[in-house]
Structure 1
Amino acid sequence: MSSADSKAQKRQKFEKVFEVIREELLTHFNGEGMPKEAAEWYRQNLDYNVPGGKLNRGISVVDSVEILKGRALTDDEYLKAAILGWCIELLQAFFLVSDDIMDSSVTRRGQPCWFRNEKVGLIAINDAFMLEAAIYWLIKKHFRSEPYYIDIVELFHETTYQTEMGQLIDLITAPEDHVDLSKFSLQKHRLIVIYKTAYYSFYLPVALAMHMSGIPLASSTTPNPYTLAQSILIPLGEYFQIQDDWLDFSGTPEQIGKIGTDIVDNKCSWCINTALAVASEKQRKVLDENYGRKDAEAEKRVKAVFVEVGVKEKFEAYEEDAYKRIIGLIETIPVDGLGTDGAVKLKREVFKSFLDKIYKRQK
């Protein structure tokens, strides 16, 4: 079987679990005596907003549990790992439905944003709340008797709060309708990336897998495995987002599957912040006058400055340095795994599998 076939099969198996949890949520909803039209609305909300993405975050929970346990999962273990994965996808859906309203976005995943649909409008705000609440209902139903129950509840709450902090910095730093490059900096970009993306996209899937695999929060004889995991995964998430920013500028629509819009949308991206850090007075004037404008010619002028200041060369140097740094962090984990008081050890392979997926990616 080819790797593409294997990936498709893995996704298909994961998607079947969504059908299970959707029916559980709707059965509970109907059991509360909700009217038929409300149940149909909830079903449409779930189907429209939850399963359509790449599902990388959710599937990473299953992959990480398999690596940590060192064997194929039983049906019950797979179901539990996949439910935690879908809880991340529900969290993602909650963020995206909300984010699209805040940004007045038009499309998401190749279809109109949920709030843009006829009759939805600002009801989407409540729909977003319901997507988030579904996480905690599912965790209670499936994990209430597990010793790590409160750990995963707290982890979701903390990660949600961190992501919302990042969203706030992003919204007040780079509103789409008001360009002020004096608010931009590489340090602010780093904060936005870490809080808005890295915690929930990279640390959350692995930390959930660690809890499910029986790795305790702390041990008297070894380093805290969660602190170690975070020290690797947050820089990994930062690297991923900087790649994303670079590809938005440099990638073709055929390559990345979309037209890059960071420049016209006034995004506080790595590329603009890198250019601002080294731009001459003349180049800075061009950036100030053209960045964030809904104008193809203005966008071309910004791109020309990016080329002049060597953003490509700076990205290539950053990528090599980031890769070496992350490998170095991974190698702080002993070859035979970081021992804990339990039977399961933290393993280098968990982190290498993430790094291998994104190093030198082209889309």
Structure 2
Amino acid sequence: MQSFETLSQQFATRFQTDHFPAAPATLYDPNRYFLKLGGKRVRPVGVLMGNELFDTIVDDAWAVATAVELFHNFTLIHDDIMDAAPLRRGQPTVHEQWGPSTALLAGDVMLVKAYEYLNGISAKYIVPINRLFNNTAREVCEGQQLDMDFEKHDAVGLEQYLHMINLKTSVLLAAALRMGAILGGAGERNQNLLYEFGRKLGLAFQVQDDYLDAFGNPEKFGKQVGGDIKSNKKTFLLIHALETASGSDKEELASLLAGNAPDKVERVLAIFHACGVDAWARELKDRYLQEALTHLEDIAVLSKRKEPLRELALYLIHREA
């Protein structure tokens, strides 16, 4: 069994191939630029790890992993347009460099290329892989729409937020792992368990991400903390604070969300601490992580084969950055 780091390096080497034609360069060069920005590649490597959990990695797994990574980057290009984001991984976004119209087309053609890779796999896998891929793609779009809808809502409940995060963030990792399991010949029960492992891991990851934005060390986190607070982004932390704050804390929090005080981040963090949001978030993250690891443990393969996935889960959730 290979570690995430080893498989990630192998995937990065294979993924460096040019996925697009030369012309028109005005369409394809933006995608080449965007893909060179890199990323953690957790989702495509999840395909490989899901395959290797059950059997030797097959050639089709590399094609499916590539399709998953291209799909993920398609969503990022379009997300950046919707968010009017100027930067992605410290570099100008595609719509900033080439304009929103080209960015839309670049994302579209990246999605088309993902399907080209999927349609090249062995015939016996095309139907189950495409069915899962299509269902996941639809769910990711639903999650993104809900995320935008929530920006207009004064109040969002925790269950609503969980549903949105599950669709927008968790299902793609879960599906990547399940695609690998399908290619590895896993039975339905093992596929379901691995999917749930990925889904719960995705939820734990998002709780950790929300937590680090508020309470992380900016030098280790890689960006200034409090960005979500400044933009009034509805996160696990803010939703819980709005549900549990009382008296003057509740009034002050409402006032801070309605304004843009220079010390907004510090004052919101003080309310978070007073409400015990930090401890609650850590407990929630640990709960999802333990649920994920329980699903992994229940998979009917030798324990040593699960070790790379267990190590990946602990690395992702216990990271400081």
Give the structure-1-normalised TM-score. 0.79
Q: Does 1:191 find its partner at 2:163?
A: yes
Shift of 1:259: 1.9
Q: Does 1:85 find its partner at 2:53?
A: no
Compared CA separation, residues 328 and 66, structure 1 to 2 (3 A): closer
CA deviation map 1:251-283 (0-9, x unaligned)? 122111112311112222111012112101321
Find the counterpart in structure 1 of residue 183 from structure 2.
212
CA distance in 1, matches of 2:263, 2:201: 35
CA distance in 2, matches of 1:60, 1:296: 42
Q: Work out which of the two has the higher radius of gyration on C-alpha atoms and give 1 or 2.
A: 1
- SS of residue paired to 1:148: helix
Compared CA separation, residues 334 and 136, structure 1 to 2 (3 A): closer
**8 Å Cα contact 1:174/1:268 also seen in 2:** yes
Find the counterpart in structure 1 of residue 16 from structure 2.
19
Compared CA separation, residues 58 and 333, structure 1 to 2 (3 A): closer
Q: Does 1:121 find its partner at 2:121?
A: no
Shift of 1:203: 0.7
Find the counterpart in structure 1 of residue 47 from structure 2.
61
Q: How many residues align?
A: 317
Amino acid at match of 1:250: F
Amino acid at match of 1:198: S
| Identity between Structure 1 and Structure 2 (%) | 24
Give 2:79's match in structure 1, choosing from 82, 94, 99.
Answer: 99
Compared CA separation, residues 355 and 10, structure 1 to 2 (3 A): closer
Amino acid at match of 2:212: L
Give 2:90's match in structure 1, choosing from 104, 110, 126.
Answer: 110
Find the counterpart in structure 2 of residue 361 from structure 1.
319
Identify the structure with bigger relative contact order (alpha carbons < 8 Å, sequence gap 6+). 2
- Cα root mean square deviation, aligned: 2.5
Q: Does 1:256 find its partner at 2:242?
A: no
CA distance in 2, matches of 1:131, 1:292: 39
**8 Å Cα contact 1:293/1:299 also seen in 2:** no
**8 Å Cα contact 1:17/1:83 also seen in 2:** no
Shift of 1:294: 5.1
Ranges in structure 1 where 5+ consecutive residues have no aligned partner: 31-35, 219-223, 338-346
Compared CA separation, residues 82 and 335, structure 1 to 2 (3 A): closer
Compared CA separation, residues 121 and 315, structure 1 to 2 (3 A): closer
Q: Does 1:152 find its partner at 2:129?
A: yes
Shift of 1:196: 0.5
The aligned runs of 1:1-363 (5 Å cut-off) are 7=5, 10-20=7-17, 22-23=18-19, 25-26=20-21, 36=23, 38=24, 40-51=25-36, 52-69=38-55, 73=57, 77=58, 79-117=59-97, 119-140=98-119, 142-143=120-121, 145-175=122-152, 180-181=153-154, 183-200=155-172, 202-216=173-187, 218=188, 224-260=189-225, 261-291=227-257, 295-334=261-300, 336=302, 348-349=306-307, 351-363=309-321
Amino acid at match of 1:241: Q
CA distance in 1, matches of 2:229, 2:115: 38
Give the structure-2-normalised TM-score. 0.89
